[in-house]
């Protein structure tokens, strides 16, 4: 059942094309749409549009539908364009005219915005928790093996001494920045858009703040045009936060790949987190880290697609924004799985004290040697040149 069906012929192929696979994606969104619909029904009850018995029937049916969706025992039918159509079909089949009242005082535009925001809130909280778990794993490395010194690198060349603690704390710092970025996005999306309709208000008003409270949202969208303009913009901001996380994981993966290379061997990746070769028996490949490293490019590409698919649109809803849904869901899944895998790699990571000690060759202490001369009153540039000339003259011998 299409919510916009009327006594006008329409081309089924055109309808299917416009839906663009939305029904399959919406199975993920359905439980959140049920939660939003329960809150919406309470708003209709307070507004006098449905009575207490109807509210009870709608709530019970929506709770049942949500449980079925979570268990995977309810699927959208081929005639359902989206989860919104599926919900109304289910309610009408169960409750008749009472089910036909659920779409009073809302449009699919504010309905999907609300369901998406509830979904994003859950997903982003999970991402934040996973980042914090990874931070905890890095802190464990810093606490247990942090005193071990090894050669820090610039330009992929030895530079100056560092410690495992400083290395781990560096990544803890940037991951914390990413958490702050995502928390900023969460503050934006924790607002109720229900009641703004298609962006231009509704002839009958409901208590939107009551609905927001039912949903656990601290505020409401006060402007319907804003609500529609936020679609895709919030997704872009969210993907920027996810890109930030994956950027950190990309850098961390690159470090672990290089620093666990047999020629360096500062870190040892547990063999359970590696793969092998079909021809070379000795290989233990860091495939997990390589995939994480590569996924940053995928997420960045998704961010750019979301940013570009909706540019040049005027205010108000456009079907173009539907194309962002799959990109966002895919990105959330990639970041979630990447964080889980990186956490397992870091929690099983070992530090080779002997390899780290072997990396502390003479040249990485030359900066300290120059500063010893500075402490004796030698100008820094003179000290720098004196130490450099001495080092390179001995290398030429």
Active site residue 10: no
Beta-strand runs (E) in the chain:
149-154, 157-163, 191-192, 219-220, 267-268, 350-351
Provide the b/e sequence for 171-204 (b: ≥16 CB within 10 Å).
Answer: bbeebeebbebbeebbeebbbbbbbbbbbeebee
Question: CA–CA separation, 300 vs 253, rounded Å?
Answer: 16
Please state, in angstroms and rounded to a whole number, the distance separating the CA atoms of residues 361 and 93: 77
277 catalytic? Reply is yes
Cβ atoms 338, 292 nearer than 8 A = yes
Using a 10 angstrom Cβ sphere, with 0-12 exposed, 13-18 middle and 19 or more buried, the burial of residue 375 is: exposed
DSSP labels, 264-329: T-SEE--GGG-B--SS-TT--B-HHHHHHHHHHHHHHHHHHHHHHHTTTPPSS--GGGGHHHHHHH
Contacts with 2 (C-beta within 8 Å, 6 or more apart), sequence order: 15, 79, 81, 85
Choosing from 77, 277, 297, 315, the catalytic residue is: 277
Q: Which of 155, 272, 278, 311 is catalytic?
A: 155
**Residue 69 half-sphere exposure toward CB, CA atoms < 13 A:** 24
Whether the Cβ atoms of residue 27 and residue 76 lie closer than 8 Å to each other: yes
Positions marked catalytic:
155, 277
């Amino acid at each position: 059942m299409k919510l916009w069906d009327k006594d006008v012929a329409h081309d089924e192929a055109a309808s299917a094309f416009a839906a663009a696979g939305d029904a399959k994606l919406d199975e993920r969104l359905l439980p959140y749409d049920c939660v939003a619909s329960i809150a919406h029904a309470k708003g209709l009850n307070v507004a006098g549009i449905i009575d207490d018995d109807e509210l009870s029937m709608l709530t019970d049916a929506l709770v049942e539908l949500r449980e079925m969706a979570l268990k995977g025992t309810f699927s959208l039918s081929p005639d359902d364009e989206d989860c919104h159509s599926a919900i109304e079909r289910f309610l009408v089949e169960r409750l008749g005219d009472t089910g036909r009242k659920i779409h009073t005082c809302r449009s699919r535009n504010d309905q999907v915005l609300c369901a998406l925001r509830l979904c994003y809130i859950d997903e982003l909280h999970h991402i934040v928790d996973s980042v914090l778990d990874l931070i905890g794993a890095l802190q464990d490395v810093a606490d247990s093996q942090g005193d071990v010194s090894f050669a820090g690198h610039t330009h992929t060349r030895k530079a100056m001494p560092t410690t495992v603690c400083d290395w781990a704390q560096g990544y803890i710092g940037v991951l914390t920045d990413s958490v702050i970025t995502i928390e900023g996005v969460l503050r934006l999306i924790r607002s109720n858009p229900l009641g703004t309709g298609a962006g231009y208000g509704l002839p009958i008003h409901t208590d939107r703040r009551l609905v927001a409270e039912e949903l656990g949202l601290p505020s409401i969208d006060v402007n319907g045009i804003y609500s529609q303009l936020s679609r895709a913009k919030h997704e872009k901001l969210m993907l920027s936060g996810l890109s930030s996380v994956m950027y950190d994981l990309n850098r961390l993966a690159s470090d672990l790949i290089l620093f666990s290379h047999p020629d360096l061997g500062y870190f040892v990746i547990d063999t359970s987190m590696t793969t092998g070769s079909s021809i070379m028996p000795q290989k233990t490949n860091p495939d997990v880290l390589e995939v994480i490293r590569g996924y940053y490019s995928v997420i960045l590409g998704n961010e750019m697609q979301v940013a570009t698919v909706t540019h040049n649109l005027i205010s108000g809803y456009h079907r173009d924004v539907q194309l962002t849904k799959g990109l966002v869901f895919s990105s959330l899944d990639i970041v979630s799985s990447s964080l889980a895998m990186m956490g397992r790699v870091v929690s099983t990571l070992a530090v080779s004290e002997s390899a780290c000690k072997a990396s502390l060759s003479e040249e990485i202490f030359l900066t300290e040697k120059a500063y010893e001369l500075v402490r004796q009153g030698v100008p820094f540039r003179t000290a720098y040149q004196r130490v450099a000339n001495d080092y390179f003259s001995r290398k030429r011998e």
